[in-house]
Amino acid sequence: METGEDLNQDFQPSSESSGITIHLDAFQGPLDLLLHLIKKEEIDIWNIPIAHITEQYLEYLQTMKDLNINLAGEWLMMAATLIYIKSRMLVPQEQSAEAQPEEEDPRTELVYQLLEHQKFKNAAEMLYTREEVENAIWNKPPADVLEEGQDVVAVTLFDLLRAFHEVVQRFEAQRVMEVAQEEVTIEQKIVDIRTLFLVHDKILFSSFFSEARSKRHLIVIFLALLELVRLHEVWLYQKKAFEEIQICKVKETA
Amino acid sequence: MQAVMEAIIYVADDPVKAEQFKEVFPEEGLDEIEEALKNLVDSFNARPGGMMIREVAGGYRMTTRPEHHERIRAYLKTRPNAKLSMAALETLAVIAYKQPVTLAEVLAIRGKKSSTALQTLLERKLVAILGRKQVVGRPILYGTSREFLIHFGLRNLSDLPTLEEFAQMAGEQL
């Protein structure tokens, strides 16, 4: 039981022991390391000195373990593959040498895997360059360009209802005297909101209701707002989920 | 007709296809429309302006010219968009060239798990689910989307360099 735990500890260094666990495999895998070694040592891919490369590979693996880098299973798989190839190359082939003179080199499969990987790395480079170029080009700015470089989250109906619920609660908490019930219609409110947006580009959802004097009034404003959303005259967004909802005028297509 | 086409390309949110112009000019044949489009693109791009018309994802769209990007960025005060990570680009390259492809097949080529990268690609709508492979376990098949073509400024998939070119490069690099 104890030894089993020790072994686990070895393969998955606990983050408590040294503080940080680095997840290297988010960026590169064992094939990338092998390609790196081959390029660094200017090795002929068709004649890989497997013992040497295996040794180097295991050294890197040890360093990564020392650095508490979390190694995914494929790193150990590759280590096993390398050791297997190495052992097969050590087996004397005398007895089969004459019968099967063309016995396949145990390295071949790995070589093709490396070439294939390099091929797609090159294709990825090409995509990278293309993306770079595309980043220097603008189309008509989409209507949702608001504040520079900021991602915004579309508001769901539930966010909206929650926000409205908060508004109603706040209203009830500080209940102002209900002055003579003036009848406000949704149509009227829509006109009011449109006027507001002539001056403002965006308004905070919660501040929208400050002038309301009755619960009915609140609901009318809310419905007017929904109608304007439906008509694509305004749209609602938040910088992050659960953040304050902003109401923004939809800019007319220039 | 060319003037209207230019205006439509300008107001469109997405690249406009020749077939879409056919709806606007029902009296014209598709051949005439394509001919007019070609002339429009040629004459528009011949003038040394700040804009150009590009063929992207099977349609036409108006964009700024790349050589002005620094000044435009200075005006917009924006940073370049979040770029894809190398892991995501590699995964995307495999999917683009091997589609329809399963996650297991991507793993075999990249030699490492690619589920996080794939997740990013799905979220950014560069990759789409094409169906399921008719083998045991019926794994999901992935392929690139129209958004992929737009994102990388490609007319269609055959606009990509061939894999042989990259194989040749790999042979020279190793």
Q: Which residues in chain B have Cβ-Cβ distances shorter than 8 Å to A131?
A: 83-84, 89, 151-152
Best of A114, A115, A122 to substitute, by most chain B Cβ atoms within 10 angstroms, is: A122
CA of A140: which chain B residue's CA is closest? B63
- Give residue B73's Cα distance to chain centre: 22
Q: For residue A95, what pLDDT is reported?
A: 55
The whole-angstrom separation of Cα B24 and Cα B3 is 13
Q: Does A37 lie in the same domain as A6?
A: yes
Query: Domain range holding A75?
Result: 2-90+104-134
Q: For residue A195, what pLDDT is reported?
A: 84
pLDDT digits (tens, 9 = 90+) for A18-45: 445 554 544 478 898 898 889 888 889 9
Indicate the average pLDDT of chain A.
Answer: 75
Question: How many domains is chain A built from?
Answer: 2
What's the one-letter identity of residue A246? Q
| Comparison of pLDDT for A12 and A107, the residue scoring more | A107
Q: Does A64 lie in the same domain as A10?
A: yes
DSSP secondary structure, A15-59, as one string: HHHHS--B-GGGT--HHHHHHHHHHHTT--GGG--HHHHHHHHHH
Of the given ranges (A190-194, A210-214, B8-12, B45-49), which has the lowest mean pLDDT?
A: A210-214
Q: Does A158 lie in the same domain as A110?
A: no
Q: Which architecture characterizes domain B86-173 according to CATH?
A: Orthogonal Bundle (1.10)
Q: Does A185 lie in the same domain as A124?
A: no
Indicate the CATH number of B2-75 among 3.20.20.140, 3.40.50.800, 1.10.1060.10, 1.10.10.10: 1.10.10.10
Q: Which residues in chain B have Cβ-Cβ distances shorter than 8 Å to A122?
A: 166, 169-170, 173
| Comparison of pLDDT for A170 and B140, the residue scoring more | B140
Quick check: is A95 in a domain?
no
CB pair distance less than 8 Å for B174 and A27 = no
Quick check: is A146 in a domain?
no
Q: How many CA atoms lie within 13 A of A198 on its CB side?
A: 6
Q: Does A24 lie in the same domain as A113?
A: yes
If pLDDT is split at 50, 70 and 90, which confidence band does A11 have?
very low
**Structure token pair of residue B25:** 């000019």
Q: Does A172 lie in the same domain as A118?
A: no
A:B CB pairs within 8 Å: 132
Q: Does A123 lie in the same domain as A10?
A: yes
Q: Does A123 lie in the same domain as A29?
A: yes
The CATH number of whichever domain residue A176 belongs to comes to 1.10.10.580
**Structure token pair of residue A67:** 């650095």
Q: Does A174 lie in the same domain as A74?
A: no
CB pair distance less than 8 Å for B79 and A138 = no
pLDDT digits (tens, 9 = 90+) for A74-109: 888 999 999 999 998 887 765 554 555 556 788 999
CB pair distance less than 8 Å for A128 and B90 = no
The answer to whether the peptide bond before residue B15 is cis (omega within 30 degrees of 0) is no
Q: Which residues in chain A have Cβ-Cβ distances shorter than 8 Å to B65?
A: 137
Domain boundaries, chain B: 2-75, 86-173
Best of B16, B112, B123, B151 to substitute, by most chain A Cβ atoms within 10 angstroms, is: B112
Q: For residue A225, what pLDDT is reported?
A: 86
Which of A118, A126, A133 is closest, CB to CB, to B170? A118
Of the given ranges (A19-23, B17-21, B153-157, B165-169), which has the lowest mean pLDDT?
A: A19-23
Q: Hey, do B2-75 and B86-173 end up sharing a CATH topology, with the first three levels equal?
A: yes
pLDDT digits (tens, 9 = 90+) for A109-168: 999 999 999 999 999 999 999 998 888 888 865 544 444 444 556 667 777 778 888 888
